[in-house]
């Protein structure tokens, strides 16, 4: 045991320097100020990151984040934490590459152990068509400086010896897209890390505070409604993930989004055996092993639009069947927990970020099944967008206006999750 740890233990209760707790929910607008420079709707990773970068990069600290539940209790706390930049379109690759770069230094930036763990990411190809897409992605990635390449069974066996690479398998593995920087991290720590760092810069964070309406006058956002009354704001940013359409409707906006449940589960803890993150689009399954030894597993999104976080037996059955094709020896492993989040799907599988037709109303949405890895970049560049009132260059391809201009950013081939 390190001496410093022993000394800390012997010093007794209260000796360990605990970080300051977050503020308790406050009644809004209460007896306090009824106006803020910026109100952020949604206290998930994205909303909190945007609040943090507004304060850090733009000196805007008069910010209130309003969260209807608890911090990180939405999709941020429900996702399977895969971080990668091996997308298909140049626009997507550049954006996610920037997010991965920010993620790699985030522990130090926020002063929180995010347990960021670089694992390598394998997207398996079981068909010629999948191999072709993998080759295409590798080409775009390499051209833009992202480390990805095509690998074949001999090298896959070295990278992930536990995979069933038998040519006699029902869906034999022909090759894979290998992305060495692919990583996982502790999702709740990302939300709380941003919350802590934002609060230290003066941002106010209110949990248990639902926004029930948006005040729009003369085509301009003027504030939000809560059970405690109206909170006026110069600018409003919505970052409400699976409830994006409903929030946008409060501001009179209609989004091209359908919402479907996305489920996942974890196994009981096992001895570490799986270093890589393994994804099979054809088998509708993906898996990684957490630092605790749990297999973190997911599959396709649910087939029909629904606002629900209810897990189903059907999901678990099909996931188990598919996963056993890849790792037949885990047949006796028990599933410990299963859950669902709500995924806001856009027609092109890319997010919607930036300015909107309502002046001073900004949107960070359409994060479907892919938004955890985007948390730092979405936060940083949405903060720039809110501060300047203009669409940052990196976010230009993801503007809401692209749907009217037929300028889609088609990322379905890199989505990881079947749909
Ligand atoms: P959230 O964390 O959902 O935050 C939005 C918040 O807004 C919520 O806390 C909600 O309570 C709040 N809110 C909503 N309406 C209101 C209101 N009216 N007033 C106040 N607050 C409100 N992405 C990846 O990159 N990698 C993955 O491996 C991955 N796996 C996933 C697995 C699953 C099972 C799911 C469901 C998603 C997965 N995703 C993944 C997607 C990712 O989780 C999301 O895209 C991302 O977390 C979105 O972050 P957010 O901060 O925008 O949303
Ligand atoms: O975007 O990599 C991803 C992902 C994997 C599982 C869900 N999303």
Quick one: what percent of the chain has pLDDT higher than 90? 89
Which residue has a Cα nearest atom 35 of ligand 1?
79
Distance 100 CA to ligand 2 centre (A): 14
Distance between CA atoms of residues 179 and 106, nearest Å? 20
Closest atom of ligand 2 relative to the 83 alpha carbon? 2
Closest atom of ligand 1 relative to the 70 alpha carbon? 9
According to the model, what pLDDT value does residue 362 have? 99
Binned at pLDDT 50, 70 and 90, residue 11 comes out as low
Is the predicted pLDDT of residue 17 greater than 60, yes or no? no
- Confirm or reject: Cβ of 261 under 6 Å from ligand 1: no
Is the predicted pLDDT of residue 116 greater than 80, yes or no? yes
According to the model, what pLDDT value does residue 228 have? 85
- Confirm or reject: Cβ of 79 under 6 Å from ligand 1: yes
Choice between 73 and 29, residue whose per-residue pLDDT is larger: 73
Residue-wise pLDDT for 136-177, tens only, equals 999 999 999 999 999 999 999 999 999 999 999 999 999 999
Task: Name which of 245, 247, 240, 248 is nearest 346 in CA terms.
Answer: 245
Every domain range in the chain assigned CATH 3.30.9.10: 258-271+293-345
Superfamily of domain 258-271+293-345: D-Amino Acid Oxidase, subunit A, domain 2 (3.30.9.10)
Distance 74 CA to ligand 1 centre (A): 5
Binned at pLDDT 50, 70 and 90, residue 5 comes out as low
Is the predicted pLDDT of residue 18 greater than 70, yes or no? no
Is the predicted pLDDT of residue 385 greater than 70, yes or no? yes
Ligand nearest to the CA of 214: 1
Which residue has a Cα nearest atom 12 of ligand 1?
42
Distance between CA atoms of residues 29 and 334, nearest Å? 48
According to the model, what pLDDT value does residue 191 have? 97
Report residue 92: phi and psi, to 5°: -65, -45
According to the model, what pLDDT value does residue 26 have? 56
Three-state SS string over the chain comes to: CCHHHHHHHHCCCCCCCCCCCCCCCCCCCCCCCCEEEEEEECCCHHHHHHHHHHHHHHCCCCEEEECCCCCCCCHHHCCCCCECCCCCCHHHHHHHHHHHHHHHCHHHHHCCCCCCEECCEEEEECCHHHHHHHHHHHHHHHHCCCCCEEECHHHHHHHCCCCCCCCCCCCCCCEEEEECCCEECCHHHHHHHHHHHHHHCCCEEECCCCEEEEEEECCEEEEEEECCEEEEEEEEEECCHHHHHHHHHHCCCCCCCEEEEEEEEEECCCCCCCCCEEEECCCCEEEEECCCCCEEEEEEECCCCCCCCCCCHHHHHHHHHHHHHHCHHHCCCCEEEEEEEEEEECCCCCCEEEECCCECEEEEECCCCCCCCCHHHHHHHHHHHHHHCCCCHHHHHHCCCHHHHCCCCCCHHHCCCCC
According to the model, what pLDDT value does residue 92 have? 98
According to the model, what pLDDT value does residue 29 have? 55
According to the model, what pLDDT value does residue 32 have? 65
- Confirm or reject: Cβ of 245 under 6 Å from ligand 1: no
Is the predicted pLDDT of residue 364 greater than 70, yes or no? yes
Choice between 401 and 418, residue whose per-residue pLDDT is larger: 401
- Confirm or reject: Cβ of 89 under 6 Å from ligand 1: no
- b/e burial code for range 40-50 (CB count within 10 A of at least 16 → b): bbbbbbbbbbb
According to the model, what pLDDT value does residue 3 have? 66
Mean pLDDT, residues 107-126:
96
* Low-confidence winner among 183-187, 221-225, 407-411, 414-418 (lowest mean pLDDT): 414-418
Every domain range in the chain assigned CATH 3.50.50.60: 35-79+188-256+348-414
Is the predicted pLDDT of residue 28 greater than 70, yes or no? no
Retrieve residue 81's tokens.
Answer: 């934490």
Binned at pLDDT 50, 70 and 90, residue 31 comes out as low
35-79+188-256+348-414 belongs to CATH 3.50.50.60:
yes
- Confirm or reject: Cβ of 373 under 6 Å from ligand 1: yes
Which residue has a Cα nearest atom 6 of ligand 1?
42
According to the model, what pLDDT value does residue 106 have? 98
* Low-confidence winner among 71-75, 406-410, 415-419 (lowest mean pLDDT): 415-419
Closest atom of ligand 2 relative to the 79 alpha carbon? 7
According to the model, what pLDDT value does residue 20 have? 54
Q: Which residues line the pocket of ligand 2, CB cutoff 6 A?
A: 80, 82, 84, 286, 298, 369-370, 416-417
Which residue has a Cα nearest atom 3 of ligand 2?
370
Mean pLDDT, residues 12-39:
65
Ligand nearest to the CA of 87: 2
Binned at pLDDT 50, 70 and 90, residue 34 comes out as confident
Is the predicted pLDDT of residue 6 greater than 90, yes or no? no
Retrieve residue 45's tokens.
Answer: 């990773």
According to the model, what pLDDT value does residue 195 have? 95
According to the model, what pLDDT value does residue 33 have? 75
Task: Name which of 372, 371, 355 is nearest 363 in CA terms.
Answer: 355
Enumerate the β-bridge partners of residue 286: 279, 298
Distance 299 CA to ligand 2 centre (A): 9
| Cα torsion 107, 112, 115, 121: sign | negative
Binned at pLDDT 50, 70 and 90, residue 417 comes out as confident
Choice between 222 and 23, residue whose per-residue pLDDT is larger: 222
Distance between CA atoms of residues 27 and 17, nearest Å? 30
Residue-wise pLDDT for 257-278, tens only, equals 999 999 999 999 999 999 999 9
């Amino acid at each position: 045991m390190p001496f410093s740890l022993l000394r800390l233990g012997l010093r007794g209760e209260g000796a360990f320097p605990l970080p300051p707790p977050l503020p308790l929910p406050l009644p809004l607008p209460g007896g306090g100020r009824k106006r803020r420079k910026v109100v952020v709707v949604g206290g998930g990773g994205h909303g909190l990151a945007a609040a943090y970068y507004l304060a850090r990069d733009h000196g805007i600290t008069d910010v209130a984040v309003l969260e209807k539940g608890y911090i990180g209790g939405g999709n941020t706390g429900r996702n399977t934490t895969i971080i990668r930049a091996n997308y298909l379109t140049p626009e997507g690759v550049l954006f996610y590459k920037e997010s991965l770069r920010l993620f790699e230094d985030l522990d130090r930036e926020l002063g929180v152990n995010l347990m960021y763990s670089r694992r390598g990411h394998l997207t398996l190809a079981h068909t010629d068509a999948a191999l072709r897409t993998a080759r295409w992605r590798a080409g775009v990635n390499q051209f833009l400086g992202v480390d990805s390449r095509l690998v074949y069974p001999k090298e896959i066996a070295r990278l992930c010896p536990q995979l069933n690479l038998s040519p006699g398998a029902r869906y034999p593995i022909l090759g894979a897209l290998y992305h060495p920087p692919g990583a996982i991290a502790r999702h709740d720590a990302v939300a709380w890390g941003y919350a802590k760092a934002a609060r230290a810069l003066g941002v106010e964070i209110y949990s248990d505070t639902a926004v029930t309406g948006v005040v729009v006058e003369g085509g301009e956002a003027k504030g939000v409604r809560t059970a405690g009354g109206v909170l006026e704001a110069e600018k409003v940013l919505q970052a409400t993930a699976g409830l994006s359409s409903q929030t946008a409707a409060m501001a009179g906006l209609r989004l091209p989004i359908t919402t479907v449940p996305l489920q996942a589960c974890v196994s009981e803890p096992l001895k570490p055996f799986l270093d890589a993150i393994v994804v099979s689009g054809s088998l509708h399954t993906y898996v990684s092993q957490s630092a605790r030894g749990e297999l973190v597993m997911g599959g396709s999104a649910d087939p029909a639009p629904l606002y629900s976080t209810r897990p189903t037996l059907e999901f678990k059955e099909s996931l188990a069947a598919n996963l056993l094709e890849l790792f037949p020896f885990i047949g006796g492993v028990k599933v410990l927990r299963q859950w669902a989040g709500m995924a806001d799907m856009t027609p092109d599988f890319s997010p919607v970020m930036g300015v909107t037709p309502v002046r001073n109303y900004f949107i960070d949405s359409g994060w479907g099944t892919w938004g955890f890895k985007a948390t730092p970049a979405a936060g940083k560049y949405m903060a720039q967008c809110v501060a300047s009132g203009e669409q940052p260059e990196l976010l230009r391809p993801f503007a809401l206006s692209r749907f009217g201009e037929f300028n889609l950013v088609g990322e379905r081939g890199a989505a990881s999750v079947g749909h």
